[in-house]
Structure 1
Amino acid sequence: MEILKVLSRLLDYPTEALYEHGIDIAEIIANDADLSESNKASLLAFVDQRFSDSLLDWQADYDGLFERGRSLSLLIYEHIHGESRDRGQAMVNLLEQYRAAGLDIGVRELPDYIPLFLEFVSTQGSENGKGWLEDIAPILALLQVRLEKRGSNYSAAFAALVALSEAAIDVQALREQVKDEKRDDTKKALDKVWEEEAVTFGGDAVNGGCPSQVNRPSETQRRDQDVPISFIDNSSAQAAEQAIRS
Structure 2
Amino acid sequence: MRIRRREPDHRVLYLVAARCLDYPTTEFVAMLPACVAALAEHGNSPPVVTLRELLTALSTRTLADLQNNYVETFDFSSKHALYLSYWSDGDTRRRGEVLAQFKSVYRQSGAVIDTHGELPDYLPLVLEFAARGDLEAGRALLARYRSSLDMLHKSLHSKESHYARAVAAVCDTLPAAHATEAPPPPTELVGLTGYQGRP
Scaled by the length of structure 1, what TM-score is found? 0.66
In the alignment, what sits opposite 1:161? 170
Between the aligned partners of 1:129 and 1:75, the Cα distance in structure 2 is: 15
Matched, 1:135 2:124: no
Identity value in percent: 26
Between the aligned partners of 1:5 and 1:107, the Cα distance in structure 2 is: 16
In the alignment, what sits opposite 1:19? 29
Matched, 1:3 2:20: no
Q: 1:83 to 1:47 in 2, by over 3 A?
A: same
Scaled by the length of structure 2, what TM-score is found? 0.80
Matched, 1:149 2:138: no
Which of 58, 67, 81 matches 2:75?
Answer: 67
Q: CA deviation at 1:205?
A: 4.0
Between the aligned partners of 1:205 and 1:146, the Cα distance in structure 2 is: 29
Between the aligned partners of 2:29 and 2:194, the Cα distance in structure 1 is: 30
In the alignment, what sits opposite 1:215? none
User: How large is the RMSD of aligned CA atoms in angstroms?
Assistant: 2.8
Between the aligned partners of 2:49 and 2:109, the Cα distance in structure 1 is: 33
Between the aligned partners of 1:85 and 1:168, the Cα distance in structure 2 is: 25
Between the aligned partners of 2:138 and 2:129, the Cα distance in structure 1 is: 9
Q: CA deviation at 1:92?
A: 1.4
In the alignment, what sits opposite 2:86? 78
Question: CA contact under 8 A between 2:84 and 2:121: conserved in structure 1?
Answer: yes
Matches within 5 A, 1:201-220: 204-206=193-195, 208=197
Residue ranges of structure 1 left out of the alignment (5+ in a row): 182-195, 210-246
Q: 1:22 to 1:106 in 2, by over 3 A?
A: closer
What per-residue deviation string (whole Å, max 9, x for no partner) do you get for residues 205-245 of structure 1?
Answer: 43527xxxxxxxxxxxxxxxxxxxxxxxxxxxxxxxxxxxx
Aligned residues: 183
Q: CA deviation at 1:65?
A: 0.8
- Higher relative contact order at CA 8 Å, sep ≥6: structure 1 or structure 2? 2
Which of 105, 121, 146 matches 1:97?
Answer: 105
Q: CA deviation at 1:30?
A: 2.4
Matched residue of 1:165: which SS?
A: coil
Q: CA deviation at 1:197?
A: 9.4
Letter in 2 for 1:108: G
Q: 1:168 to 1:111 in 2, by over 3 A?
A: closer
Q: 1:74 to 1:106 in 2, by over 3 A?
A: closer
Question: CA contact under 8 A between 2:18 and 2:123: conserved in structure 1?
Answer: yes
Q: CA deviation at 1:91?
A: 1.0
